[in-house]
Every structure is written in structure tokens, then in C-alpha cells.
Amino acid sequence: DARVTQTPRHKVTEMGQEVTMRCQPILGHNTVFWYRQTMMQGLELLAYFRNRAPLDDSGMPKDRFSAEMPDATLATLKIQPSEPRDSAVYFCASGLEAGLGEQYFGPGTRLTVT
């Protein structure tokens, strides 16, 4: 049963610390998405990749956030330095075609920045 995996599932950190979230997309999927979900803003698309190349990261605060795909089995989202307003659930999803076709979401990383 193929699934998207994310680590860690929960992260509590202090303001100013670096946070790295990891995602393993489903094998064979060529598109990877990063989302942030909060009560106030809902589900926001931060960035997505096709064939490991960034297609769009316009939803991501560039000064502190960065997203990469070092290889086809790993996507990372890094926040440096973290701030309390970054507290949210961060989802990774993978699929076969951006904007067309099913996206498979991971379980999410719940980040709390104090």
C-alpha cells in the first residue's frame, strides 16, 4: 500500500531555531507539493516540484523558507529562523501530474514554534 511519508510527525521548537521537515513521495510519482494548513488561512500551497525541479514556490516566504528535492525519494522543507507564526500543519503530497490528477497527501508534520 503505497503512501507518502513525512517526518517528524510532531515538532516543538523555540523561535529562532531551524526546522527541517522531510517527505518521501510515492515511488514513481514525479510531482511533489508542500502545503501549510492553519485554522485562519486554510490549506495553502507553498511550493511544488516536477521531476525534482521547482515549478512554483510563489506561496512560500522566501526569506526564511526553502524547499528542495535532493533526489527523487526525498523532499525537504526548511524554515530558518522559525517564528511563532509558522506554527501549522505542513503536508507533503505527491502525484503524477501537477494540477491534473489525484494528489496523495502524507500524514503531515505538526509544527509548534514557541
Partner 1 sequence: GQQVMQIPQYQHVQEGEDFTTYCNSSTTLSNIQWYKQRPGGHPVFLIQLVKSGEVKKQKRLTFQFGEAKKNSSLHITATQTTDVGTYFCAGSPPGNQFYFGTGTSLTVIP
Distance CA 108, CA 57 (A): 19
* Residue 111 neighbours by CB distance under 10 Å: 21
If one asks whether residue 99 binds partner 1 (CB under 8 A), the answer comes out as yes
Cis peptide bond upstream of 8, omega within 30 = yes
Q: In the complex with partner 1, which residue's Cβ is closer, 3 or 85?
A: 3
If one asks whether residue 107 binds partner 1 (CB under 8 A), the answer comes out as yes
If one asks whether residue 8 binds partner 1 (CB under 8 A), the answer comes out as no
Residues lying near partner 1 in the complex (CB under 8 A) are found at 35, 42-45, 55-56, 91, 93, 98-108
